[in-house]
Chains A and B, each alone.
Chain A
Amino acid sequence: MRFIPPFLFSLPLLASTTLASDEAARHFDTVIAPILSRHCLECHDSANREGKLDLSKKSAAFAGGKKGSVIVAGSAAKSRLWESVAHDEMPEDRPALSAEEKEKLRTWIEAGAVWPGEEVDPLAHMRSGGEGTILPRRLTREEYIATVQAATGVEIAGDAERLLPSEARAEGFRNTAFHLTVDLGHIQAYAELARLVAERLDPAPFLAGTTGVDDNALAKIVEQSGRRLLRGPLDGTEREAYLALAREGAGPARDAKAAARLVAEAMLQAPRFLYRVESQRGDGTPKPVAAHELASRLSYLAWGAPPDDALLRVAAAGDLSDETRLAKEIDRLLADPRAVEQSLRFARDWLDLDRLDSIAPDPKKFPHWSPALAADLKGETLAFFRAAVWEEKLPLARLFNAPFTYASPRLAAHYGFEGAKASAQGPAPLLHYRFEEGKGDRVVNRGSLGEAYDLGADKANALVWKKAGGLELKSAVAISTTGPAKELVAAIRETREFTVSMRITPANTQQKGPARILTLSHGTGERNLTIGQEGDRYEVRVLGKGTGGNGTIDWRTEPKTVRTEKVHLLLVREASGKTRLFIDGKEAISRDLGGELGDWKDGYHLVLGNETNGGRPWLGSYDEVALYDRALLPDGLPAATPEWERIDLTSVPGRGGLLTQGSLLSVGGDEASMVTRGLFVLHEILGSGVTSAPAGTDTTPIPPKAGQSRRAVSETRIAKSDCAGCHAKFEPLAFGMEKFDGLGALRERDEHGNTQREDGSILFPGEAEPVTYASVGELMDLLAGSERVARTITRRATQFAVGRPLGNADAVVLDTIHHRATAGGGTWPALLKAIAMSDLVRLTPTEPQS
């Protein structure tokens, strides 16, 4: 028997030698698994099995290694695992276990070495927290917008996106509760947004049918407001506080509507609106979530929005505690269109698609690169996800090999899809003035409506042409069409969309009126559309639903927006009514004008530089003006992407599934790094990781060259015994993607002329032997059929649903969720339902009142 230092016997037992099975499972997941993961699995996992010992799996661990059994349940003294650790013989050439870790291991063995489940998560040592820490979930900006809309009917997206800071990803998702703090900017924004919403809402629904303003009536207003805005019943203190406010709001004028608005303004800033406040007091053990709180959990999980009246009624009736009723409600929520948008938010965060908004490939290597292509790459993956999940209703793992995708003409050309439309130009403008004439009083229209829309000045010799092109207005002059713009208005009426693009330079920041830069109107009281300048702000007037004949009066940008330098203004109206002004590509103001165009008149002339009857002159320069009957975003991408088409990839070799899409392939950067791509697959798709590189290794990337492809570089690296341990686990995951360049285009040879391959092998985490594949299609099939992949998706979706990283203590419930989701078909609705029905959603941890 080996000598064991006496102090190890004298350390007190940390736990009773008898552990109840649930407690035993939790103990293993939270205490023992992290120790094994941190100290043992680097050498004793399924792939390495040094000494033929695999400690990553229960059956293998108890079977032992080359020297026989290493764990004898109930006797640490007889367990080689304990002995070698106690003497610091293991881990070999690595830091020893601490005294505390050793004692935990010893206690576990003595208590029977209970090992629930089968595998140890190799990242268990990196997962902590998740259990015990209860944080309130502040509404994200998207949730705030949805909640305001649902509760008040007010569309606040434009203002909220302007005022509220956006959330950054934390632990991979934007809704991670610990990261949703507030700073002064949030408070200012909430106050201003509350004021705007209160101003714009229709108070009728908040009046609860009351007609008076006595205390009874006001109390009903308060109750109704609380129900709508605070997602549950009010308590006595709240009623009193808001009633006092309602009295003040009603004021001497006894105005019930004013009272309702004031109460709404306060409630919109209250903790119960901005946070999903839940009761967390108890005896320290988990308790069922209160009915209205559960209703909120379910709706925000499924929709990212508050519960609707139907869900609140079911909650109020106490029916959510009934499993069958609960399941029925969840099905109803998941059948709602809002569930689709919520699933896309998950995809966007999980796959970090917003990264595409800012990648900057080297233009020398990628001459066809443009921000519009980045938007297409993102759009492809989102459209694919939507179709795969909601139309095809595929199990989520099939996201990796579903044989179709979506592509715009630009994307199809980038991928080289045969037969796809190659045009990447976008729609042609109806009007296009380039101001290249150089002389005279006429401006030629080069757009599709032709010379009928040439413009003429109302004063002879008043146009000042610039030598380098462009037209300068130094005095009041109106440049207009000779006749009414009937065809223009007809085209816009048909699509209910338009885009006005202008490159101009204002002469000063004082001119007002607003001074007409472009107008489709008649005089100062009637218009379809005007873009003008009001001092240091731009003003937009668009005729729409409910605006009156003069359009959206006083709709202006922020002060100091106008500068006396070249600027690109883009006014875009989408068919939905969303109308935005972009300044140099950035959204400045936004408003929802309703889907109907309103009473646009076809008798107005189009005029630049002044109103039709004078009196509103604008001074400055024009370099280009274009007008479309389509909604185009700043990069020229159509807002509603009507030209996207579904592409059947069954006969397209090398394509099919997420990892063959440019959005994910671009994670490797310009160089299509095997290391980066492989690590991405290992982390995000296979839910695993690797440890640091061994000592003394030069980690400087080795570039490919003629005769040495990227794969060859990788294989050389893997062949080194120092590197193989880790690199063999992830670099081959990228071999199948070698043919895709840094932006996902296919090539048979790289830039050095090296032939690209697509075969390889994949070692699934937890497996002893790799599985070979002959093509990227086979690789994708392997991923789609992998239980490991399915579990990783379960984990990621659950994290997204509960708003926190999952810890070791969540292992058991996660297992249950995964089994239920799989039994339900492995689809997104099945997974979300499994999460919603689990203890993670239906129970809440508690804290005793201290």
Chain B
Amino acid sequence: MKTRLLDRRTVLRGLGGITVGLPLFEEMLVSTARAATPAVPMRSFNLFFGLGLPAAIQKEGFEGVMEPLKPLADKLLILRGIDQIRADQKGENAHRDGASAAFTAEAPNGTDRAGGPSLDQVIRAAHYANGLPAGMVPSLVAGTYFRRDRVARHTHSFNEDGTAAAPIQERPRDLFERVFGKLPGSEGDPAELRRKRSVLDTVLDQYHHYAGANSPLGSASKARLADHLDRIREYETRVFPAKEEEAPLTVTGLPTAGLPGPPPKSKLLHGTTADPGGEGIDITLTDLVEGWHLMAGLYALAIQTDRVRFGSLTFCAAGERIRLKGDYDYAGRRVFQFDDAGQRKKSGAAGCSHEWWHGFDEKKTNEALRAHAHMKLREIAWFLDLMDNEESREGNGRTILENSLFTISTESGDGRHNDVKRELSGVFHAVTGAGGRFKTGRILDDGTEALDLYNTLLGAMGTKRRLGPGNREHRRFDAILA
């Protein structure tokens, strides 16, 4: 007998006002022939927002820039004063060091690799050592961002060797295709299907050999070809429908009938045009938020339909350069009128919102910076809310937000590139309860090292792997444990 995990829905609202019609996928149902209650899958996601929250304004709590997180306060553990100083790399700047350290607690390894694996990937490796269920996206990396001269500015999910866990999807259509895309082949003529099958089987054999025990390759190379093999397997499940009895308890493949068309075309700049040599782009608040809602909404849908259980989502890159314009309202009041270039009276890089952070002064009101930070947290909260609504309620009665580990962080605690003790200390973090493992509904100020925080999270999530140097004495951050 099958049990419904999710209610049937034909329209998904909330994607920035754009409706996307979706049928209920039969594979949202989990066979519970053997289990009394459905298993809640292990999930871990890293949520990143660019430019950070200066430690001083974090102290204002929910009455200040953190106001948008207040409705979710009971389901979040806010951690202030987290220290990422060990990630400071002499010769690099804080944006890159901090961006790389978020979720890894390590300084970057070169310009385009993190110093080690990220939280979600460590947890994935521990719980799915033999791979995720067929048809699932192993790691989904996505975001709404513009600056892109370093990978760690926008990607926040890293393998053991510091390489990106997956290429980032920045266009909603690409994200849609990655997760839900239909591939030609399953409806083709039988002879063509047989031909494709034969070719694929031969190709698969080759990758099995090179990723297997008798491979002539070294371990890192084998791992790389094993990843390739996993992608071919994923391709295989999309082109050739899987047999139901092979995967009774998991999502099996993708529907090929009834899928809607892709989401609307993004209005944002993408690719290299989104980062004209670090000089920044002009963008309205409406376009930014609409683009983000499209992206984050799809990402949420991917989680809700159990297409993905690990990855990262980014709202604005580390060191982002945008000249934002538009009226910002929240809770029925006008919070601020964004006009970065006009207010800064500058064009190009100097007119970007990034510069408010450089000019942060505790003795001043920092109105523009606060408004930008408030807006960012509003958008993070928008996504988290999707993970906490009725459509995200799981078989155990709790929501995806409550059942999973979402780690929210950013790149720095301060804006000035001049004092390591300020910029990489006091880095804002928040975590969800992860199925009751961590305390929620409180704010902790501890000054703990991010490395100890992350290792405590990992321990509670059932992994043995610890981040950081092997000979370091780790301090368990007991205060966060439920």
A binds B: yes
List A residues at the B interface (Cβ < 8 Å): 38, 42, 100, 123, 125-126, 128-129, 133-136, 165, 168, 170-172, 176, 178-179, 181-188, 191, 194, 237-238, 241-242, 244-245, 248, 262, 265-266, 269-272, 274-275, 277-281, 354-355, 357-360, 362, 364-365, 666-667, 669-671, 689-701, 703, 805, 845-847, 850
Interchain CB contact under 8 A, A700 and B355 = yes
* Smallest CB gap from B228: residue in A: A182
Interchain residue pairs A-B with the least CB separation, the first 10: A280-B218, A358-B272, A170-B112, A847-B218, A360-B276, A279-B216, A695-B419, A187-B235, A134-B218, A266-B202
* Smallest CB gap from B90: residue in A: A691
Q: B15-23, B59-67, B120-128, B205-213: which one contacts chain A? A: B205-213
Q: Please give, as numbers and ranges, the residues of chain B lying within 8 Å of A362 by CB-CB distance.
A: 347-348
In the bound complex, CA of A262 to CA of B198 (Å): 9
Given A136-B221, A187-B235, A669-B277, A692 and B206 touching (CB < 8 A)? no
**CB of B111 closer than 8 Å to a CB of A:** yes
* Smallest CB gap from A176: residue in B: B112
In the bound complex, CA of A265 to CA of B346 (Å): 56
Q: Please give, as numbers and ranges, the residues of chain A lying within 8 Å of B209 by CB-CB distance.
A: 237
Interchain CB contact under 8 A, B167 and A692 = no
In the bound complex, CA of A265 to CA of B431 (Å): 48
Given A128-B109, A671-B348, A692 and B271 touching (CB < 8 A)? no
Near A by CB (< 8 A), chain B positions 412-466 give: 416-421
Near A by CB (< 8 A), chain B positions 193-209 give: 195-196, 198-200, 202-203, 205-207, 209
In the bound complex, CA of A850 to CA of B238 (Å): 34
Interchain CB contact under 8 A, B218 and A271 = no
Q: Can you sample 10 A-B contacts with CB below 8 Å?
A: A134-B217, A135-B220, A135-B224, A184-B137, A269-B199, A270-B203, A669-B348, A669-B349, A671-B350, A692-B93
Query: Looking at the complex, which one of B151, B202, B277, B417 makes contact with A699 (CB distance below 8 Å)?
Result: B417
Interchain CB contact under 8 A, B279 and A700 = no
Q: Please give, as numbers and ranges, the residues of chain A lying within 8 Å of B417 by CB-CB distance.
A: 692-693, 699
In the bound complex, CA of A690 to CA of B421 (Å): 19
Near A by CB (< 8 A), chain B positions 221-264 give: 221, 224-225, 227-228, 231-232, 234-235, 238
Q: Please give, as numbers and ranges, the residues of chain A lying within 8 Å of B471 by CB-CB distance.
A: 100
Q: Please give, as numbers and ranges, the residues of chain A lying within 8 Å of B205 by CB-CB distance.
A: 241
Interchain CB contact under 8 A, A126 and B231 = no
Interchain CB contact under 8 A, A136 and B281 = no
Q: Please give, as numbers and ranges, the residues of chain A lying within 8 Å of B200 by CB-CB distance.
A: 191
* Smallest CB gap from A264: residue in B: B199
Q: Please give, as numbers and ranges, the residues of chain B lying within 8 Å of A670 by CB-CB distance.
A: 279, 347-348
In the bound complex, CA of A266 to CA of B197 (Å): 11
Interchain CB contact under 8 A, B220 and A133 = yes
In the bound complex, CA of A362 to CA of B111 (Å): 29
Query: Looking at the complex, which one of B91, B198, B273, B347 makes contact with A248 (CB distance below 8 Å)?
Result: B198
Given A133-B161, A135-B224, A701-B350, A178 and B91 touching (CB < 8 A)? no
List B residues at the A interface (Cβ < 8 Å): 88-94, 109-113, 137, 148, 151, 161, 163-164, 166-167, 174, 177-178, 181, 183, 195-196, 198-200, 202-203, 205-207, 209-210, 216-221, 224-225, 227-228, 231-232, 234-235, 238, 271-279, 281, 346-350, 355, 358-359, 416-421, 471
In the bound complex, CA of A396 to CA of B268 (Å): 41
Q: Please give, as numbers and ranges, the residues of chain A lying within 8 Å of B181 by CB-CB distance.
A: 184
Interchain CB contact under 8 A, B206 and A271 = yes
Give the shortest distance, in Å, between A213 (CB) and chain B (any CB). 17
Query: Looking at the complex, which one of A182, A270, A695, A847 makes contact with B219 (CB distance below 8 Å)?
Result: A847
Given A692-B417, A700-B359, A360 and B218 touching (CB < 8 A)? no
* Smallest CB gap from A689: residue in B: B91
* Interface-centre pick from B94, B166, B225, B234 (highest chain A CB count, 10 A): B225
In the bound complex, CA of A269 to CA of B272 (Å): 29
Give the shortest distance, in Å, between A139 (CB) and chain B (any CB). 12
Give the shortest distance, in Å, between B458 (CB) and chain A (any CB). 24
Q: Please give, as numbers and ranges, the residues of chain A lying within 8 Å of B272 by CB-CB distance.
A: 354-355, 357-358
In the bound complex, CA of A580 to CA of B90 (Å): 49
Q: Please give, as numbers and ranges, the residues of chain B lying within 8 Å of A244 by CB-CB distance.
A: 202
Interchain CB contact under 8 A, A183 and B167 = yes
Interchain CB contact under 8 A, A355 and B112 = no
* Smallest CB gap from B205: residue in A: A241
Give the shortest distance, in Å, between B310 (CB) and chain A (any CB). 15
Interchain CB contact under 8 A, B112 and A179 = yes
Query: Looking at the complex, which one of A184, A690, A694 makes contact with B231 (CB distance below 8 Å)?
Result: A184
- Main SS at interface, chain A: loop
Interchain CB contact under 8 A, B418 and A188 = no
Given A179-B163, A183-B178, A280-B221, A271 and B207 touching (CB < 8 A)? yes
Interchain CB contact under 8 A, B347 and A690 = no
Q: Please give, as numbers and ranges, the residues of chain B lying within 8 Å of A181 by CB-CB distance.
A: 163-164, 166-167, 224, 227
Interchain CB contact under 8 A, A850 and B219 = yes
In the bound complex, CA of A701 to CA of B199 (Å): 59
Q: Please give, as numbers and ranges, the residues of chain B lying within 8 Å of A262 by CB-CB distance.
A: 195, 198-199
Query: Looking at the complex, which one of B178, B278, B418 makes contact with A692 (CB distance below 8 Å)?
Result: B418
In the bound complex, CA of A696 to CA of B417 (Å): 9
Q: Please give, as numbers and ranges, the residues of chain A lying within 8 Å of B225 by CB-CB distance.
A: 136, 271, 275
Give the shortest distance, in Å, between A348 (CB) and chain B (any CB). 13
In the bound complex, CA of A172 to CA of B149 (Å): 10
Query: Looking at the complex, which one of B161, B206, B346 makes contact with A178 (CB distance below 8 Å)?
Result: B161
* Smallest CB gap from A123: residue in B: B91
Give the shortest distance, in Å, between A133 (CB) and chain B (any CB). 5
Give the shortest distance, in Å, between A404 (CB) and chain B (any CB). 27
Interchain CB contact under 8 A, A183 and B198 = no
Interchain CB contact under 8 A, B218 and A696 = no
Q: Please give, as numbers and ranges, the residues of chain A lying within 8 Å of B416 by CB-CB distance.
A: 698-699
In the bound complex, CA of A700 to CA of B416 (Å): 9
Q: Please give, as numbers and ranges, the residues of chain B lying within 8 Å of A693 by CB-CB distance.
A: 417-418
Query: Looking at the complex, which one of A123, A191, A241, A248 makes contact with B235 (CB distance below 8 Å)?
Result: A191
* Interface-centre pick from A183, A278, A694 (highest chain B CB count, 10 A): A183
Give the shortest distance, in Å, between A711 (CB) and chain B (any CB). 18
Give the shortest distance, in Å, between A378 (CB) and chain B (any CB). 13
Q: Please give, as numbers and ranges, the residues of chain A lying within 8 Å of B94 by CB-CB distance.
A: 692
* Smallest CB gap from A170: residue in B: B112
In the bound complex, CA of A170 to CA of B164 (Å): 11
* Interface-centre pick from A364, A692, A694, A697 (highest chain B CB count, 10 A): A692
Other contacts beyond A135-B221, A181-B163, A271-B210: 13, CB < 8 A: A128-B110, A171-B110, A172-B111, A179-B163, A181-B164, A191-B200, A270-B203, A355-B277, A358-B276, A671-B348, A689-B91, A699-B417, A847-B218
Q: Please give, as numbers and ranges, the residues of chain B lying within 8 Å of A694 by CB-CB distance.
A: 418
Interchain CB contact under 8 A, A136 and B217 = yes
Q: Please give, as numbers and ranges, the residues of chain A lying within 8 Å of B273 by CB-CB distance.
A: 357-358, 360
* Smallest CB gap from A670: residue in B: B348
In the bound complex, CA of A667 to CA of B94 (Å): 21
Give the shortest distance, in Å, between A122 (CB) and chain B (any CB). 8
Give the shortest distance, in Å, between B450 (CB) and chain A (any CB). 17
Interchain CB contact under 8 A, B231 and A186 = yes
Give the shortest distance, in Å, between A262 (CB) and chain B (any CB). 7
Given A176-B112, A692-B417, A184 and B235 touching (CB < 8 A)? yes
* Smallest CB gap from B202: residue in A: A266
Query: Looking at the complex, which one of A238, A269, A357, A697 makes contact with B418 (CB distance below 8 Å)?
Result: A697
Interchain CB contact under 8 A, A171 and B348 = no
In the bound complex, CA of A131 to CA of B219 (Å): 14
Interchain CB contact under 8 A, A692 and B218 = no
Give the shortest distance, in Å, between A548 (CB) and chain B (any CB). 26
Give the shortest distance, in Å, between B275 (CB) and chain A (any CB). 7
* Smallest CB gap from A39: residue in B: B90
Interchain CB contact under 8 A, A691 and B166 = no
Interchain CB contact under 8 A, B234 and A184 = yes
Q: Please give, as numbers and ranges, the residues of chain B lying within 8 Å of A667 by CB-CB distance.
A: 277
In the bound complex, CA of A134 to CA of B220 (Å): 6
* Smallest CB gap from B93: residue in A: A692
Q: Please give, as numbers and ranges, the residues of chain A lying within 8 Å of B164 by CB-CB distance.
A: 179, 181
* Smallest CB gap from B229: residue in A: A271
Q: Please give, as numbers and ranges, the residues of chain A lying within 8 Å of B274 by CB-CB distance.
A: 358
